[in-house]
């Protein structure tokens, strides 16, 4: 294998990072001009790598490296990750899991190596939920789990998903029947294996370049609207206020204290706003997001029950109302042992530790796990493991090792679940 695979992956990530919704950083929200430019670039790279490429009804870019023609009724091994980002995010979250396999396929194609199965790479159009506050939007289409009610959901500018998709004009975009038809037939799949930057410090602290994921923590997201009474900041005595923001602050602290009670539980209020607030007006409304995750669904659900009850009692005590809108929760997704073992075998053959770790971050593999067996290969995250941040980084050496390991995995892959 050419030693420049790793550097090519980093160069591609830099090239994609130039398509951004913001000037001094990387934001790539669903169906913005930057998102469309990213999508078009992925199509081109997949075609250059020797793949047949199509865009589905939600905007996923799907490239196929066709099986060796001598193989009858080949199965499909699928890989991929998302190309949207969080606001001011990193350039590897999601994109590494598209770019690495593209570069790998390019190398296989140049070497004239065909695989005994179709190898599909999916650039998932949306995973982060930035524009429409969804979760796993694009993979839900492929997994046949798309919630059609989402077509009416509006972004911050009041544009519905239906209109945004209609304007994008993918084949079948915004047509519920076409979105349903875009689901893959699970019977055709041999499995789904996603490569992703770890987004945490575990591999870095252990001095390991790669790791194998055991399970992906389940997550629940909410939007909470607290209503109080807007009134004069100078004339309303402290004991006569119905301040929505101080109520939301107490609710935020409740999320923190409840989630600190269990080591695998995490809770985050990542958005907190006083709509139309003024410095001299007591906040009449406050809206905030909650993101709650745990490796075990029961632990997450127990925390959610306590937090939702606590929010109502804080609201009642303060003379406020709190309305909670639940975004689709996703349960914990275990990875398949037979796929993990095949990844482990190739790591060991290279003299690397087959280190296993759970994922606290959500991934497209979670949704794909609803229809097929999944596994994930994590690549070490630099800079102390920081992610969802422009400081997110990987090295060319680690990308090279991950690419070579992935080649070994593909060349040894057996779909019959025996190792
Ligand atoms: C996706 O990045 C998530 O875990 O929120
Ligand atoms: Mn992310
Ligand atoms: Mn990601």
Alpha carbons 164 and 237: distance in angstroms, whole number: 47
Residue 149 within a domain: yes
**Residues 69 and 209 placed together within one structural domain of the fold:** yes
Inter-residue contact 122 to 60 (CB < 8 Å): yes
pLDDT of 346 > 90? The answer is yes
Residue 265 within a domain: yes
Predicted confidence at residue 419, as pLDDT, reads 43
How many of the other CB atoms lie within 10 Å of CB of 261? 11
Q: Calculate how far, in angstroms, residue 86's C-alpha sits from the geometric centre of ligand 1.
A: 9
For residue 317, give both structure tokens.
């005590």
Beta carbon of 365 within 6 Å of any ligand 1 atom: no
Predicted confidence at residue 19, as pLDDT, reads 98
HSE (CB half, 13 Å, CA atoms) of 170? 25
Alpha carbons 265 and 145: distance in angstroms, whole number: 26
Question: Which of the listed residues 326, 356, 379 is the one where a domain comes to its end?
Answer: 326
Residue 388 within a domain: yes
The percentage of the chain sitting over the pLDDT mark of 70, rounded to a whole number, equals 99
Residue 383 within a domain: yes
Q: What is the 3-state secondary structure (H, E, C) of the chain?
A: CCCCHHHHHHHHHHHHHCCCCCCCCECCCCCCHHHHHHHHHHHHHHHHCCCEEEECCCCCEEEEECCCCCCCCCCEEEEEEECCCCCCECCCCCCHHHHHHHHHHHHHHHCCCCCCCEEEEEEECCCCCCCCCCCCHHHHHHCCCCCHHHHHCECCCCCEHHHHHHHHCCCCCCCHHHHHHCCCCHHHEEEEEEEEECCCCHHHHHCCCEEEEEEECEEEEEEEEEECCCEECCCCCHHHCCCHHHHHHHHHHHHHHHHCCCCCCEEECCCEECCCCCCCEECCEEEEEEEEEECCHHHHHHHHHHHHHHHHHHHHHCCCEEEEEEEEEECCEECCHHHHHHHHHHHHHCCCCCCEEEECCCCHHHHHCCCCCEEEEEECCCHHHCCCCCCCCCCHHHHHHHHHHHHHHHHHCCCCCCC
Predicted confidence at residue 414, as pLDDT, reads 93
Beta carbon of 126 within 6 Å of any ligand 1 atom: no
**Residues 301 and 353 placed together within one structural domain of the fold:** no
Average pLDDT over residues 168-186: 94
**Residues 170 and 283 placed together within one structural domain of the fold:** no
Average pLDDT over residues 66-87: 97
Q: Give 246-266 pLDDT, tens digit per residue.
A: 999 999 999 999 999 999 999
Cα angle value 184/64/406 (rounded, 5°): 100
**Residues 178 and 259 placed together within one structural domain of the fold:** no
Cα angle value 126/129/131 (rounded, 5°): 95
Q: Calculate how far, in angstroms, residue 252's C-alpha sits from the geometric centre of ligand 2.
A: 22
Atom 5 of ligand 1: nearest residue by CA position: 362
Q: Give 88-126 pLDDT, tens digit per residue.
A: 999 999 999 999 999 999 999 999 999 999 999 999 999
Judge whether 293 is annotated as a binding position. yes
Write the CB contacts of 273 (distance below 8 Å, at least 6 apart in sequence). 286, 287, 288
Residue 295: which CATH number? 3.30.70.360
Residue 105 within a domain: yes
Beta carbon of 362 within 6 Å of any ligand 1 atom: yes
The percentage of the chain sitting over the pLDDT mark of 90, rounded to a whole number, equals 96
Residue 150 within a domain: yes
Q: Give 285-325 pLDDT, tens digit per residue.
A: 999 999 999 999 999 999 999 999 999 999 999 999 999 99
pLDDT of 268 > 80? The answer is yes
**Residues 179 and 316 placed together within one structural domain of the fold:** no
pLDDT of 404 > 90? The answer is yes
Q: Would you give the end-to-end CA distance of the chain in angstroms?
A: 24
**Residues 311 and 353 placed together within one structural domain of the fold:** no
**Residues 75 and 195 placed together within one structural domain of the fold:** yes
Beta carbon of 97 within 6 Å of any ligand 1 atom: no
Q: Give 12-25 pLDDT, tens digit per residue.
A: 999 999 999 999 99
Beta carbon of 361 within 6 Å of any ligand 1 atom: yes
pLDDT of 135 > 90? The answer is no
Closest ligand 1 atom number to CA of residue 94: 2
Predicted confidence at residue 240, as pLDDT, reads 97
**Residues 101 and 195 placed together within one structural domain of the fold:** yes
Q: Residue 335's closest CA among 311, 356, 354?
A: 356
Closest ligand 1 atom number to CA of residue 93: 2
Alpha carbons 123 and 97: distance in angstroms, whole number: 8
Out of 88, 96, 363, give the residue to mutate to test ligand 1, the one with the largest number of ligand atoms within 8 Å of its CB: 363
Alpha carbons 106 and 402: distance in angstroms, whole number: 15
Judge whether 93 is annotated as a binding position. yes
Residue 364: which CATH number? 3.40.630.10
Tell me the average pLDDT of the chain: 96
Inter-residue contact 115 to 410 (CB < 8 Å): yes
**Residues 387 and 337 placed together within one structural domain of the fold:** yes
Residue 51 within a domain: yes
Out of 90, 128, 268, 358, give the residue to mutate to test ligand 1, the one with the largest number of ligand atoms within 8 Å of its CB: 128
1 pLDDT tier (thresholds 50, 70, 90) = low
Beta carbon of 198 within 6 Å of any ligand 1 atom: no
327 pLDDT tier (thresholds 50, 70, 90) = confident
Higher-pLDDT residue of 197, 415: 197
**Residues 104 and 163 placed together within one structural domain of the fold:** yes
pLDDT of 418 > 60? The answer is no
Out of 127, 197, 392, give the residue to mutate to test ligand 1, the one with the largest number of ligand atoms within 8 Å of its CB: 127
Alpha carbons 138 and 366: distance in angstroms, whole number: 12
**Packing angle of the helix pair 96-110, 396-412 (nearest 10 deg):** 60
> Residue 187: what are its φ and ψ, rounded to 5°?
-65, -20
Cα angle value 416/375/219 (rounded, 5°): 140
**Residues 228 and 213 placed together within one structural domain of the fold:** no
Domain that holds residue 352: 5-217+332-412
Query: Cα separations (Å) of 363 from 97, 138, 193, 198?
Result: 10, 11, 11, 11
Alpha carbons 132 and 187: distance in angstroms, whole number: 31
Q: Calculate how far, in angstroms, residue 72's C-alpha sits from the geometric centre of ligand 2.
A: 38
Question: Which of the listed residues 303, 326, 349 is the one where a domain comes to its end?
Answer: 326
Residue 235 within a domain: yes
Structural domain count of the chain = 2
Question: Which of the listed residues 273, 297, 326 is the one where a domain comes to its end?
Answer: 326
**Residues 234 and 366 placed together within one structural domain of the fold:** no
Average pLDDT over residues 30-42: 98
Predicted confidence at residue 416, as pLDDT, reads 75
pLDDT of 3 > 70? The answer is no
Average pLDDT over residues 181-204: 98
Predicted confidence at residue 218, as pLDDT, reads 97
Write the CB contacts of 403 (distance below 8 Å, at least 6 apart in sequence). 1, 5, 6, 9, 100, 103, 104, 107
Beta carbon of 343 within 6 Å of any ligand 1 atom: no
pLDDT of 182 > 80? The answer is yes
Predicted confidence at residue 328, as pLDDT, reads 75
């Amino acid at each position: 294998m050419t030693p420049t695979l790793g550097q090519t992956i980093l160069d591609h990530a830099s090239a994609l990072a130039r398509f951004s919704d913001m000037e001094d950083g990387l934001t790539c929200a669903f169906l913005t001009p930057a998102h469309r430019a990213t999508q078009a670039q992925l199509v081109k790279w997949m075609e250059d790598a020797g793949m047949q490429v199509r865009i589905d009804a939600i905007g996923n870019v799907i490239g196929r490296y066709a099986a060796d023609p001598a193989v009858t009724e080949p199965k499909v091994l699928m890989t991929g990750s998302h190309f949207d980002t969080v606001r001011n995010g990193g350039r590897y979250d999601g994109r590494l899991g598209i770019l690495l396999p593209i570069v790998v396929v390019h190398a296989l194609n140049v070497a004239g190596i065909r695989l005994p199965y179709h190898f599909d790479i999916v650039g998932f159009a949306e995973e982060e939920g930035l524009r429409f506050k969804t979760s796993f939007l694009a993979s839900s289409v492929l997994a046949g789990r798309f919630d059609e009610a989402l077509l009416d959901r509006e972004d911050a500018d009041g544009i519905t998903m239906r209109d945004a998709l209609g304007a994008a004009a993918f084949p079948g975009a915004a047509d519920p029947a076409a979105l349903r038809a875009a689901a893959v037939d699970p019977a055709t799949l041999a499995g789904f294996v996603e490569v992703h930057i770890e987004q945490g410090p575990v591999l870095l602290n252990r001095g390991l370049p790669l790791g194998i994921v055991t399970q992906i923590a389940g997550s629940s997201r909410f939007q909470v609207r607290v209503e109080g009474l807007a009134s004069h900041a100078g004339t309303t005595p402290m004991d006569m206020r119905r301040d929505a923001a101080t109520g939301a602050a107490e609710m935020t602290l409740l999320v923190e204290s409840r989630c600190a009670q269990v080591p695998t539980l995490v809770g985050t209020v990542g958005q907190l706003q006083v709509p139309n607030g003024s410095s001299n007006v007591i906040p009449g409304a406050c809206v905030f997001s909650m993101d709650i995750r745990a490796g075990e669904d029961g632990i997450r659900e127990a925390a959610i029950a306590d937090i939702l009850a606590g929010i109502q009692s804080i609201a009642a005590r303060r003379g406020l109302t709190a309305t909670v809108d639940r975004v689709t929760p996703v349960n914990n997704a275990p990875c398949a042992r037979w796929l993990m073992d095949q990844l482990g075998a190739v790591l060991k053959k290279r003299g690397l530790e087959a280190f296993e770790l759970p994922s606290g971050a959500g991934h497209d593999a979670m949704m794909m796990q609803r229809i097929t067996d999944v596994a994930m290969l994590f690549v070490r995250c630099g800079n102390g493991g920081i992610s969802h941040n422009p400081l997110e980084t990987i090295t060319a050496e680690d990308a090279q090792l991950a690419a070579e390991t992935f080649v070994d995995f593909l060349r040894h892959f057996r779909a019959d679940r025996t190792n």
